[in-house]
């Protein structure tokens, strides 16, 4: 087998030694043999040139035999050091259970093309003025992928693949086509469950995504650009990603090519087990650039069970507003490094309030699972069962303690709206809240006389994030007007709506204020 040798060009590798190194051993044996022969020629020993030649011949025979045995052993053993020579077995095992999904959905094109309703625009482009062309709705066809997860026809896919679909068609690798029905969808996680009427179908075994490690090999299977079923190979690039496209996400990042049409397809390990469902990619060109994301099975399959039972998902909640920890906050609390998430607010009449959690507490873990960021806390709590009692390890006043919290069902949107009145999301992709006296000591770089609004969340794909606004920043001014209340913030954003939002922002970590212009 040919491979690249460290620090050199391509060489042959057999067994546990480079072939070049085995030849060096043979050369060393020959040199050693010649030296022994010279010793035999000295006056103190019997001279026998014939015996020296015989030794050299035997040495070469031994070296050749060593290499031959090694080559034969490698050929018999197959993969070297656990590496596969071919991935055909994995593909053959999993491809039959990955299907193509095509949908029909009605789209309101008047919202996409406002000029379509203008008679002057129509006449200029010589567009017919009849019922067909005046109809604001049109049928749109889209393509995606799905994963058969049971022999009786349950198929896992993305919500955005089947959302608002009036007709769903499922096609298997052998061109067998079925019409599918939606069992349930969960937009916050972009998971959907559909079903076809069939039995004895090929399906993929569910693997344990929690056991995946960065660097593990994975294979992505789907229908990119509608060209037909395709497999691509890569590794796990990162775990626990949150790219702001879903309300709840704990994504697997991979460099296996994921393109439009791969959504809903399978991400499998080298045992042919499902570890994720392809969901998104980051690209400047519209095609794969080696940054793809998959929803882990640990999350997707919990959603599937709920959809199977009720067609909806019931989520548990805690009732706190968490914030990431940074080094300055860790120093304030006497911690050697940032750990856990900081509670900036405990909402009244919530599980957290009833359990005695307080503003300023730091949540380190939930049932022994380390919490690294606010997104992770949301995921762990939301995927817990309603009514379950969880054990929180927290830090309060510099001391660690444990608090038991009985989780409750996430409230209806109307109730959430009442709680969220203390926050504002008027600026697209940005959530802010008013500063409190309890929060000031946690920001030791914040001047005592500084007033503003705390940024508690910034979507990574928003214009504000692109201009450098981040969680933990303090918005001091909007359009050169000071803002210390949510009412003032909304009023300032309502002015000069034809221009970018001009912000003066205090960066607590740098201890300085800057100006940012955010496109609307």
| Number of domains within the chain | 4
**Which sign does the torsion angle of CA 452, 454, 460, 461 carry?**
negative
* Chain segment 230-273, per-residue pLDDT in tens: 899 999 999 988 887 788 888 999 999 888 888 999 999 999 99
Q: Active-site residue among 102, 142, 145, 160?
A: 160
* Chain segment 77-112, per-residue pLDDT in tens: 444 455 556 899 999 999 999 999 999 887 665 544
Q: Active-site residue among 102, 142, 190, 365?
A: 190
Q: Predicted confidence band at 74 (pLDDT cuts at 50, 70, 90)?
A: very low
pLDDT for 138 beyond 80? no
Please tell me the predicted confidence (pLDDT) of residue 73: 47
Secondary structure E strands in 225-319: 230-241, 251-254, 266-268, 274-281, 292-296, 316-317
In terms of domains, do 18 and 101 share one?
no
Cβ count within 10 A of residue 196? 21
**359 touches 346 (CB < 8 A):** yes
Token look-up 């922002």 returns: 505
CATH number, residue 366: 2.30.42.10
Q: Which domain holds residue 429?
A: 421-518
Dihedral of the alpha carbons of 73, 76, 81, 84, in degrees to the nearest 10: 160
In terms of domains, do 149 and 242 share one?
yes
Cα gap 207→204, rounded to integer Å:
9
DSSP state of 224: G
Q: Active-site residue among 249, 257, 263, 306?
A: 263
Cα gap 129→126, rounded to integer Å:
9
Residue 416 resides in a domain = no
Please tell me the predicted confidence (pLDDT) of residue 56: 64
The verdict on whether 113 is a catalytic residue reads no
192, burial (CB in 10 Å: exposed 0-12, middle 13-18, buried 19+): buried
Q: Predicted confidence band at 406 (pLDDT cuts at 50, 70, 90)?
A: very high
The verdict on whether 70 is a catalytic residue reads no
Rounded alpha-carbon distances, angstroms, from residue 483 to 103, 436, 448:
47, 14, 16
In terms of domains, do 106 and 143 share one?
yes
Share the mean pLDDT of the chain: 79
In terms of domains, do 184 and 295 share one?
yes
* Chain segment 166-202, per-residue pLDDT in tens: 899 999 987 788 999 999 999 999 999 999 999 999 9
Q: Which of 54, 77, 100 delimits the end of a domain?
A: 77
The verdict on whether 160 is a catalytic residue reads yes
DSSP state of 257: -
Beta bridge partner(s), residue 389: 406
Residue 415 resides in a domain = no
In terms of domains, do 58 and 95 share one?
no
In terms of domains, do 17 and 137 share one?
no
Q: Which of 281, 310, 339 delimits the end of a domain?
A: 310
Cα gap 363→384, rounded to integer Å:
16
In terms of domains, do 461 and 380 share one?
no
In terms of domains, do 245 and 96 share one?
yes
Least confident of 236-240, 343-347, 352-356: 343-347
């Amino acid at each position: 087998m040919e491979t690249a040798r460290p620090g050199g060009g391509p060489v042959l590798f057999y067994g546990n030694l480079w072939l070049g190194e085995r030849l060096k051993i043979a050369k060393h044996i020959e040199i050693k043999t010649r030296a022994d022969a010279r010793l035999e020629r000295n006056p103190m020993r019997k001279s026998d040139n014939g015996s020296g030649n015989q030794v050299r011949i035997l040495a070469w025979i031994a070296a050749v035999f060593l290499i031959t045995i090694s080559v034969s052993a490698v050929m018999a053993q197959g993969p070297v050091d656990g590496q596969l020579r071919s991935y055909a077995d994995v593909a053959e095992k999993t491809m039959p259970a990955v299907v193509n999904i095509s949908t029909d959905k009605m789209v309101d094109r008047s919202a996409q093309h406002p000029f379509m309703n203008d008679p002057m625009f129509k006449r200029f482009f010589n567009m017919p003025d009849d019922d067909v062309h005046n109809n604001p709705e049109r049928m749109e066809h889209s393509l995606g992928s799905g994963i058969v997860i049971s022999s009786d026809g349950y198929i896992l896919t993305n919500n955005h693949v089947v959302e608002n679909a009036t007709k769903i068609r499922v096609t298997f690798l052998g061109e067998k086509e079925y019409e599918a029905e939606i069992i349930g969808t969960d937009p916050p996680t972009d998971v959907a469950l559909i079903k076809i009427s069939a039995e004895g179908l090929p399906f993929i075994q569910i693997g344990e995504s929690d056991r995946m490690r960065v660097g593990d090999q994975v294979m992505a299977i789907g229908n990119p650009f509608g060209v037909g079923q395709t497999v691509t190979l890569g590794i796990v690039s990162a775990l626990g990603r949150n790219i702001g496209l879903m309300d709840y996400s704990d994504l697997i990042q991979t460099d296996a090519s994921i393109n439009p049409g791969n959504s809903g397809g399978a991400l499998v390990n080298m045992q042919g087990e499902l570890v994720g469902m392809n969901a998104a990619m980051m690209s400047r060109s519209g095609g794969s650039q080696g940054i793809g994301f998959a929803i882990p099975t640990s999350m997707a399959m919990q959603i599937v069970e709920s959809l199977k039972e009720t067609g909806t998902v019931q989520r548990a909640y805690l009732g706190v507003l968490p914030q990431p920890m940074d080094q300055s906050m860790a120093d304030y609390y006497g911690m050697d490094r940032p750990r856990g998430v900081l509670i900036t607010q405990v909402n009244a009449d919530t599980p957290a309030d009833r359990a005695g959690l307080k503003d300023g507490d730091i949540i380190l873990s939930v049932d022994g699972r380390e919490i690294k960021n606010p997104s992770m806390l949301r995921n762990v709590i939301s995927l817990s069962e309603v009514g379950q009692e969880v054990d929180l390890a927290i830090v309060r006043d510099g001391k660690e303690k444990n608090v038991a919290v009985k989780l409750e069902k996430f409230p209806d949107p109307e109730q959430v709206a009442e709680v969220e009145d203390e926050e504002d999301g008027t600026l697209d992709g940005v959530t802010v809240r008013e500063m409190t006296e309890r929060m000031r000591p946690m920001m030791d770089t914040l001047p005592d006389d500084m007033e503003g609004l705390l940024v508690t969340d910034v979507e990574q794909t928003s214009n504000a994030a692109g201009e450098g606004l981040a969680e933990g920043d303090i918005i001091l001014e909007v359009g050169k007007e000071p803002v210390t209340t949510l009412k003032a913030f909304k009023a300032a954003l309502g002015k000069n709506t034809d221009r970018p939002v001009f912000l003066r922002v205090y960066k607590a970590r740098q201890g300085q204020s800057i100006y940012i212009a955010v496109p609307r």
